[in-house]
Amino acid sequence: MSGLIPKAQVELRNATKVHPTPSTDSGLATQTSSGELAGGPASRRLTQWTIISEKAGVQATKERLKSYWTTLGVVSALMAALTYPAVTTPMVTKHDTGSGSGDVNDPLFMSYVLLNTCSLILSFMVVIISVVMLAEVDLVVTDDDLEVFIGRYQYLFLSLTGIFGTSIVTIVASIIVSGFFNYNKGTAIASAAICISGTVVVAIVAVWVALWTRARLKVHVDEANAVLLAAISRMRKMVSTATTTATATANQNGGQERTGQAPGQGPQETQKGTGAHTAFFAAATAAAAAGTTSFAEPTEVNPRRKPVL
């Protein structure tokens, strides 16, 4: 089931589930579908990782996640190595042409330190969470548990990308602030324009690639769901037909038990059977009264009342 898309997978699982419902007429049990057929709970929301797990399998998704966490952890560690000196030993002197007083109470200096501190802490968060996830995912040993693990923590996987991106943005912002702190206004503005332009170009490229990859994922999702929903529709029709047939059979058997008829016997057949029994017992009574032990032999033929075989 790991190759199915989540919503269609849930519908398929629920369509194949049955539970017995007792019949009030005959005491027999009929099979009715549960889950989605009975208005069951809706499936979870999809993210890129849950879609990948349903298309490529949970084991392949596990390996991709480990590579993703390793890459984020290594790059974040490098970012932390760059920002750590700016936090522990920040520069407090500046050029004479710079803006502000140049001491530790300068707002530009304070902004520079705070931005680098945010970047450092965010990088540490990514590194630590990545290490934790790498250690914990190997403790999930079955495919079913991996499926639950990916669905349960899918937003945590996505948040790591957001945290990493925020740490990069704060580093770029600290570079812009340091330009205004150390250089004249023209140089600082030019430096800020370069930083912002580079950031915008990277963001556009990232969004461009991400839109294509997610569009392809959506195509695979739609194709798989179309096939599975068609199969689910056929299964629902089969379940409905089987339920209707079982209910009609149970009701028919229950009605025959109440009227004393055998299955397949009508009212006229019942009356004919009763009349035959009555005629038989009447003949037996008449034969006993006439002094015979056989219904076909008169008394004169057997005067000594010997048993007739």
Residue 174 and residue 95 share a domain = yes
Residue 222 and residue 283 share a domain = no
Instruction: Decide if pLDDT at 158 tops 70.
Output: yes
- The whole domain housing 96 covers 48-234
pLDDT tier at 9, thresholds 50, 70, 90: low
Rounded to an integer, the average pLDDT of 217-245 is: 78
Region label for 260, one of left (φ > 0), alpha (ψ between -120 and 50) or beta (otherwise)? left
Residue 139 and residue 208 share a domain = yes
Instruction: Tell me which of 234, 253, 282 is where a domain ends.
Output: 234
Residue 280 and residue 135 share a domain = no
Residue 279 lies in a domain: yes
**How many structural domains is the chain composed of?**
2
Average pLDDT, the chain: 73
Residue 126 lies in a domain: yes
Rounded to an integer, the average pLDDT of 177-181 is: 87
Residue 57 lies in a domain: yes
The span from the CA of 273 to the CA of 266, in Å, is 11
Higher pLDDT, 115 or 51: 115
Instruction: Decide if pLDDT at 134 tops 50.
Output: yes
Residue 292 and residue 182 share a domain = no
Residue 261 lies in a domain: no
Task: Name the DSSP class of 1.
Answer: -
Residue 57 and residue 176 share a domain = yes
Instruction: Decide if pLDDT at 298 tops 70.
Output: no
Rounded to an integer, the average pLDDT of 77-88 is: 91
Residue 211 and residue 82 share a domain = yes
3-class secondary-structure state, position 23 = coil
Instruction: Tell me which of 175, 206, 234 is where a domain ends.
Output: 234
Residue 283 and residue 170 share a domain = no
DSSP 64-111: HHHHHHHHHHHHHHHHHHHHHHHHHS------TTSSS--STT-HHHHH
Residue 64 lies in a domain: yes
Residue 172 and residue 54 share a domain = yes
Residue 241 lies in a domain: no
Q: Which two tokens stand for residue 196?
A: 């912002």
Residue 127 lies in a domain: yes
pLDDT tier at 259, thresholds 50, 70, 90: low
Residue 198 and residue 61 share a domain = yes
Instruction: Tell me which of 179, 208, 234 is where a domain ends.
Output: 234
The pTM of the full predicted model, rounded to 2 decimals, is: 0.58
Q: Which two tokens stand for residue 289?
A: 């009264």
Residue 245 lies in a domain: no
User: Phi and psi (nearest 5°) for 20?
Assistant: -75, 135
